Amino acid sequence: MGVIKFNINSKIFYEDNEYIIKSYPSADKVLLKQTISPYEEIIVKVNDLIKNSKNSNEPEKSQVEYGDKALDKAKEKYEIIKPLLEMENRTAKDVEKRAKKFKKSMATLYRWIETFEKYGTVSSLAGNRENCGGKGKSRFPQETEEIINTIINEVYLDEQQLPFSNIYNVIVNECKKFNVQIPKKGAIRNRLNNINPKLIAKHRKNLSVRETRGMPGKFPEVKLPLDIIQIDHTKVDVILVDEETREEIGRPFITVAIDMYSRMIYGFYISLNAPSYFSVGQCFLNAVLPKDDFLNQHGVKGEWPVYGLPRKIHMDNGKDFRSISLHSFCSEFAIEDIYRPVARPEFGGAVERVIGTFMKKTHQLPGSTFSNIFERGKYKSGKKAAVTVSELEKWYVDFIVNVYHKTVHSSLGMTPEEKFYQGLLGVGDEKEIPFLPIVPADTIKFRMSLLPKIKRSVQKNGITIDYITYFSETLRKYIIPTQYKKLKPDLINEVECRRDPRDISKIYVYDEDIKDYIIVPYADIRRPAMDLTELRRSISEAKKAITGRELEPHDIFEAHERLNQYILDAKKETKSVRRQKSTKKHQEKTMEYESKVLDVTPKSESKLNLEKQFNEDDDSDYEIYPIG
């Protein structure tokens, strides 16, 4: 996946014509001049240029086609050339000095620099040879790595202070459970010995620790918009109601990202589900892409000019921010992911203050729970509740665009909007060189990169994830015949899958032949769609009913049907049931918007009626439709 850089005098395509970028009339528009007669000049929105796929250089391979070792090697190369990329006036002496330090030739470094500047992604630096591991690098498969990291975070870094033998046994049992490689004791012992002593002191021994050595007394200085983005979650102080029944469904969660330079809201995501990597991904999806369509969707008038890929992301140490998927996303786009120092809450103060401002405003909404019981008094929040999740989204968008961005910020001495334009377009006292942010060229692949990824091997019946089997004829090329498996037992046929938690009826698999994602549906396409929460409940329900054998896909769907029937038969729905139904309706509405605006599903898919095409007496194959 490539990126688009709006550099002055660079060439760009629009509506099949070649232009040169002349200037930036505003933060979300560029002035183009045609390269041939009649040399017409036009002003085009960045959002429209992104939709033109000709405006990026695509590497021969994408991140998903390289193995972990090759990507590690690419990251090494990027770290070597990173200081050179950041130099405004780079000279041959600078390159020579860096080359001598890492025992590389100058020609090699120039080649790496040229490659990165052309494609804009770290994976473009991955060579053909796989790295064979090395000091400080993991030699374990990704699944084993995830298990080790999870056990260390949840079991080892705990006040119970379990001994090494217990920790290792838990790791072994989890690896056996998921049938993945079991690490040696020495490897785990080395891993534990390399953990920061301050983390051990805080989480295993419950000691108060302040990480101060080498840290500044305040948050690092930022010089330009998108230098550092800060992100956090919280539960909103308002009870929502169902869009149809208007009955209360509880409080939602919000994920907010802000630009530390201007204090502009970079992006947000509201959900009835607890924060997760998916929440972070959806917040970035909203943040990075231009927001013209998003404003139109909510019917809010105004401008929200902040967009583009940031240089650094600052987060706390929560599990949702420590996920491998998020780290991979940051690595691909050369975004530095930095984490709040342990026991230094002041380093997250900016985004928390913005969230606090939002919370105070929500106290004006019907159904507010206020900040505490003393503020709430005798106010009956549940009975007064009247706002739906969609209405809360619209209210917040309007608040961001027409209130918060236009209100003077005490620490800036001006509005966030003024500060943003000052840094981006070089106006005011700080006259920097004007620039426009870098954006991903392919919105479909970008969205896919923000979905949780899962690696699975392709079996003769397809791909199985959480007891659900997915199949398409397109997967047959990945199936390894039995005779070859006997000859080469180590032969791997793994593919990287992406799954949207809002609809697990299909998965997305990257096909290296067509350089695009393919949709792989349920093996039995008659089965109903469900979200990940429904799947988890169905698996739990099925396990209660099934003993003495492994769960089968039909057990899960039968359990799903029973649970739905329980809801239909209930005389009075509980709040949790209403919340579940409202979550599903809101997810469906959001995905419908994404399908229309972001074009994330095949255009032909909407015309298909897979239910009618399926015939139990017909053994013909059904097709898979690539995205885009």
What is d(CA 492, CA 130) in angstroms, rounded to the nearest whole number? 15
Token pair of 494 as six digits: 């793994």
Lowest mean pLDDT of 224-238, 260-274, 293-307, 360-374, name the range. 360-374
DSSP H helical ranges for 63-105: 68-86, 92-101
Q: Locate 315 and state its tokens.
A: 């987060």
Both structure tokens of 493: 């046929």
What's 432's DSSP letter?
P
Residue 588 lies in a domain: yes
With respect to residue 627, please indicate whether it lies within any of the assigned structural domains: no
Q: Looking at residue 59, what is its pLDDT?
A: 56
**607 pLDDT higher than 50:** no
Q: Residue written as tokens 């490539």?
A: 2
Q: What is the CATH number of the domain that holds 290?
A: 3.30.420.10
Of 43, 51, 48, 50, the residue nearest 19 (C-alpha): 43
- Rounded to whole angstroms, the Cα distance separating 611 from 417 reads 50
Count Cβ neighbours within 10 Å for each residue of 532-549 and write b for 16 or more, e otherwise: bbbbeebbebbeeeeeee
- 89 and 171 inside one domain: no
Residues 419 and 377 in one domain: yes
Q: Which amino acid is at 520?
A: V
* 113 shares its domain with 16: no
Same domain, 146 and 45: no
User: Are 89 and 155 within one domain?
Assistant: no
Looking at the fold, whether 265 and 409 belong to one and the same domain comes out as: yes
* Structural domain includes residue 537: yes
Together in a domain, 51 and 73 = no
Question: Is residue 454 within 8 Å of residue 295, measured between CB atoms?
Answer: no
Q: Is 20 contained in some domain?
A: yes
pLDDT of 506 above 90: yes
Band (pLDDT 50/70/90 cuts) for residue 594 is: confident
What is the rounded average pLDDT for all residues in the chain?
78
- pLDDT beyond 70 at 180: yes
Assigned domain for 365 exists: yes
Query: What are the distances in angstroms from CA 175 to CA 147, 150, 170, 514?
Result: 7, 12, 9, 34
- Reported as a single tens digit per residue, the pLDDT across 210-229 is 444 334 445 567 888 999 99
Task: Give the length of the chain.
Answer: 628
DSSP 387: B
Judge whether residue 603 has pLDDT over 70: no
What's the total number of domains in the chain?
A: 5
Asked if residue 552 belongs to a domain, the reply is yes
Residues 79 and 160 in one domain: no
295 lies in which domain range? 229-440
Residues 333 and 240 reside in one and the same domain: yes
- What's the pLDDT at 287? 93
Confidence of residue 306 (pLDDT cuts 50, 70, 90): very high
* Cα–Cα distance, 188 to 147 (Å, whole number): 12
Segments in 492-552 forming alpha helices (H): 532-545
Q: Which of 169, 143, 145 is nearest to 155 (CA)?
A: 169
102 and 235, same domain (yes or no): no
Tell me, yes or no, whether 570 and 475 share the same domain.
yes
Using one digit for the tens of pLDDT, what is the confidence trace for 128-155? 433 334 444 456 776 788 788 778 877 8
Q: What is the average pLDDT across 185-198?
A: 79
The model's pLDDT over 404-462, given as tens digits with 9 standing for 90+, comes to: 999 998 888 899 999 998 888 776 555 556 778 888 888 888 888 888 888 888 888 89
Q: Is residue 213 part of a domain?
A: no
DSSP 8-class letter at 380: -
Tokens of 601: 């599903």
Tokens 């890929």 sit at which residue? 309
- CA dihedral sign, ordered 277, 469, 507, 583: negative
